[in-house]
Amino acid sequence: MDRHIIVVGAGIVGASIAYHLVQCGAKVTILEKSSPASGASGKSFGWINANAAETQSYYKLRRAAIFEYLDLCERIQLDNVVNWDGSLWWEDQGQDLIDQANIMADYGYEAKVIDAARFAELEPNIANPPEECIFGQIEGAAEGAEMVRLLLMEAAKYGAHVVAGCDVSGFLREGDYIQGVVTNFGKMHADLVIVATGAWSEQLLACADIRLPMDNKTGVIVHTLPVNPTINRLILSPDIHFRQDKSGRIVMGEIFSGGGLNEATSESPVDFAQKMLLRLKERLPDVADLKVDRIMMGKRPVPLDGFPVVGVPNDVSGIYVAAMHSGITLAPLIGRLVAGEVLDGEMSDLLADYRPARFG
């Protein structure tokens, strides 16, 4: 008999896990309390990278994830969803930039330092090119909501079911074994429950006495109205991150090291968006009619130590956890690795440092 697996959460991580599970023959039901991609996946900047890896182990995981994306692009038509033109990064400058470049070189990452002249060749519409920046040649961007839609559509072709508006409030538990979930539609039994609920992971897992401390971050993404094709790469400057999607919209985000929405001063999202728009106009002075279309507010799911949490918690069976920041980067790889672990017992060395047991 096929194993019945419930995946809680229809963001990009849950969608990828479901897609890979059904391809391996599992019976899968995806439960989503709102609608697919309604959390961080639909409000993400979308950067696919291994640039921000703090350790060599994490770098290996993220770099493997980039190549997993390339494999996925060969299996699913993603030409209008994923862009592979690379990134230009100078969020840090001077010696800090050189230090970052050296770390990446030591890891063997496909990135190099380029000068202002080369920058201008790559992105002629951006004013005041930096003296130096790091060109991340194998990096890209993905449209999170569209990735979720396509992964769930592919999963459905193999028999997966998505139940939107289904809020999981607890677990069916017999001793140390999870046997299913409690929802607003009643009890649902399963052979395994996979929790992929992003920023809500800590609260849900607490219902099963499983500890997963999170340090979620408020994120703001601003979209402009469509403009003519202007830039090709992700631009990661000291005061703003931006890129252009396939529809022509410029997608803007705050820099990850700071400079986001100042909640301490009660800065409004509208004021923040206008501040970002002014910064964008300074970078793209020749682009007319740059106007804000939408402001996307969300919570980035970040485990307390900043690293992914993937695996079976201590002292409990029938449940598996997958929570992480940079779900956009990691999701395709995580989906395949999780399917291998739960269906075939193939424990991945890439995940060895990221087990839930580290939190007790």
DSSP string, 90-108: -SS-THHHHHHHHHHHHHT
Q: What is the pTM of this model?
A: 0.96
Query: Tell me, what's the pLDDT at 276?
Result: 95
Q: What's the confidence (pLDDT) of residue 204?
A: 98
pLDDT at 306: 95
d(CA 277, CA 267): 15
pLDDT of residue 259: 52
pLDDT digits (tens, 9 = 90+) for 155-181: 999 999 999 999 999 999 999 999 999
Residues 115-126, mean pLDDT to the nearest whole number: 98
Which pLDDT score is estimated for 213? 98
| Per-chain mean pLDDT for the chain | 95
- C-beta atoms surrounding 100 within 10 Å: 19
DSSP, residue by residue, 183-244: ETTEEEE-SEEEE--GGGHHHHHHTTT----B--EEEEEEEEPP-S----SEEE-SS-EEEE
Beta bridge partners of residue 217, listed in sequence order: 300
Average pLDDT over residues 55-65: 96
Q: Which helix (H) or strand (E) holds 120?
A: helix 116-122
- Does residue 151 have a pLDDT over 60? yes
Banded pLDDT at 79 (limits 50, 70, 90): confident
Q: What is the pLDDT of residues 189-243, one digit of tens each?
A: 999 999 999 999 999 999 999 999 999 998 899 999 999 999 999 999 999 999 9
C-alpha–C-alpha distance, residues 284 and 129, integer Å: 11
| Two tokens, residue 57 | 């182990």
Query: pLDDT tens-digit profile of 302-358?
Result: 999 999 999 999 889 999 999 999 999 999 999 999 999 999 999 999 999 999 999
Q: Among 4-18, 217-231, 253-267, where is mean pLDDT lowest?
A: 253-267
pLDDT band at 260 (very low <50, low <70, confident <90, very high): low
Strand 4-8 relative to strand 27-32, pairing: parallel
Domains of the chain: 4-44+145-215+304-359 (3.50.50.60), 87-136+217-300 (3.30.9.10)
Q: Taking residues 52-73, what's their average pLDDT?
A: 94
**262-293 residue pLDDT tens:** 665 678 899 999 999 999 999 999 999 999 99
Contact 194, 274 (CB under 8 A): no
Name the DSSP letter for residue 82. Answer: E
Task: Name 38's Cβ contacts closer than 8 Å, sequence gap at least 6.
Answer: 32
At 280 the three-state DSSP class reads: helix
User: Residue 264: its pLDDT value, please?
Assistant: 55
pLDDT at 311: 98
Query: What's the token pair of residue 64?
Result: 């493997």
64 CB-side CA count, 13 A: 16
Residues in the chain: 360
In the structure encoding, which two tokens stand for residue 240, read together?
Answer: 């703003």
Sign of CA dihedral 159, 160, 166, 168: positive
Distance (Å, whole) CA 142 – CA 237? 19
pLDDT at 37: 97
- In angstroms, the Cα distances linking 241 to 124, 254, 256 are 17, 6, 9
